[in-house]
Structure 1
């Protein structure tokens, strides 16, 4: 599908009564939800990487109090954390997207990953298997997410992650996966400030950001740098309620975190030869001309920011 056609269709659906449900059905029939298993496997690999980064940063998942920004259609990360022994996982979304049928499918598919979860969280696999079986059974019998996880996983939507009602210094780790690239830059700063408030002293904030042009996933005639051809004014016509892209570059997410007071302890920013070549072969809009190519071309990044041990800002 041509990326412009998708952008216009999504913009139209965003202004129609019932547009959100229509968009969901289209995603199941033609989009990312069409192949649940493939998408789920990608999410689990992302979760494995997050668990590894958190472990290396001294904040293992087992026993942790976690806060996820952007629950999505089904809560893969929160459920994997629950199976791995997290003390609490609060997951929030600005809009209520969670679908019960996908939640059930997610819980069932986790049965195939109990060994991975056990290893990543350093807990016995028998315990992970026990939790998974109980989770699937309780969801099948009609329990909601909180009841099915004995109160560990709490889903809240609509909630603005930049302005929660959570207590100060009550969370060990704030995290997101492929979310911040869809948030307005000013709101990204608000999310960082709120994370600083709710994190315990020495707590960490982990974000995995996919900051390439997402239209490239449906239109293979373009690459993930395509949207850098356009000014903000021109790009606005393609942004929509279902696929807003802020076009922030990878380093900017880290710089903004530092400005909010976080100490950066992980930064995977790395220019790829393929992206550098793609950038050199295209016309970039002058508004991006001040950014060095090796920074402009980066389309994904994982980073961790840590609050000061002496106490977070309020």
Structure 2
């Protein structure tokens, strides 16, 4: 469904201000939005998970046996379930708002049956073990078990829960991660999340984030591109920002800079200006508030990065 981006922004702002608006928003997403094609969205998430698993492995952190913390559970726990099937010791997944939907959780578990070979290859776990865990997971969920019981206590879902202020003990987790979440978080909260990650990670632990920092309205309005929101000042942009699709408009490098400021050593940074984005940027009027950012940095609309805590465990 194609929809003018301003119309979507106004509609979401309205739904965010009325009783029952969240449920109405979910039903619209199921009927017309990203959730109408579950399989396609799930496949995209699994490809994102595959990339994350590879990055973690290259950084010296295999998923098998790891203790992980996900920021932003979403409608269904693709990453936590995939990590569980791959042999993770624990996956805590939190959301500021409780979004999880039971029918999508079950669909997610069932669809994972088609990805057991991928999960086995990405984690080094025997495919037989991955397949067995997947069958047990789907079976337990069909019987009505909750996420924790169905995963034998490995996956812990907490919502509402604030990733910037957890009750977790210090220095007990191997990895904190998120996928397409930080672009929807207030800048000050991003800093707080990074500081909390520094506190809960073990010495030498890592923080992985994949950030989709382009204009998300471009997914529903094909007349604009992912740099469109750079035309507007913060004051102007507030007309279309809303509770369901808040976008902080931070550029890719700013997330990395904030991680460094929190004390992390950056060991992966995929920031890369693409010719298509540079051309789009050159053809549009950018609001003066972004004029201080070089085009090759301003145009970047996605980034994966890893920050590692100091091996000594010293706090910054």
The TM-score normalised by the length of structure 1 is: 1.00
3-state SS in 1 of match to 2:35: coil
Show the counterpart of 2:243: 241
Does 1:189 find its partner at 2:186? no
Name structure 2 gaps, 5 residues minimum.
none
Show the counterpart of 1:117: 119
- For residue 138 of structure 2, the aligned residue among 133, 136, 139 is 136
The 1-side partners of 2:246 and 2:162 are apart by 16
Does 1:146 find its partner at 2:145? no
Q: 1:312 to 1:106 in 2, by over 3 A?
A: farther
The TM-score normalised by the length of structure 2 is: 0.99
| Deviation sequence 1:99-128 (CA, Å, 0-9, x none) | 000000000000000000000000100000
- For residue 47 of structure 2, the aligned residue among 37, 45, 48 is 45
Q: Alignment RMSD, CA only?
A: 0.6
Q: 1:195 to 1:312 in 2, by over 3 A?
A: farther
3-state SS in 2 of match to 1:59: coil
Aligned pairs for 1:74-113 within 5 A: 74-113=76-115
Does 1:61 find its partner at 2:28? no
The 2-side partners of 1:58 and 1:66 are apart by 14
Q: 1:70 to 1:251 in 2, by over 3 A?
A: same
Deviation at 1:312, TM superposition (A): 4.3
The 1-side partners of 2:172 and 2:147 are apart by 21
The 1-side partners of 2:41 and 2:313 are apart by 39
Show the counterpart of 2:175: 173
| Deviation sequence 1:43-83 (CA, Å, 0-9, x none) | 00000000000000000100000000000000000000000
| Deviation sequence 1:225-255 (CA, Å, 0-9, x none) | 0000000000011100000000000000000
CA contact (8 A) 1:197 1:312 kept: no
Deviation at 1:313, TM superposition (A): 1.8
The 2-side partners of 1:123 and 1:94 are apart by 32
Show the counterpart of 2:283: 281
Name structure 1 gaps, 5 residues minimum.
none
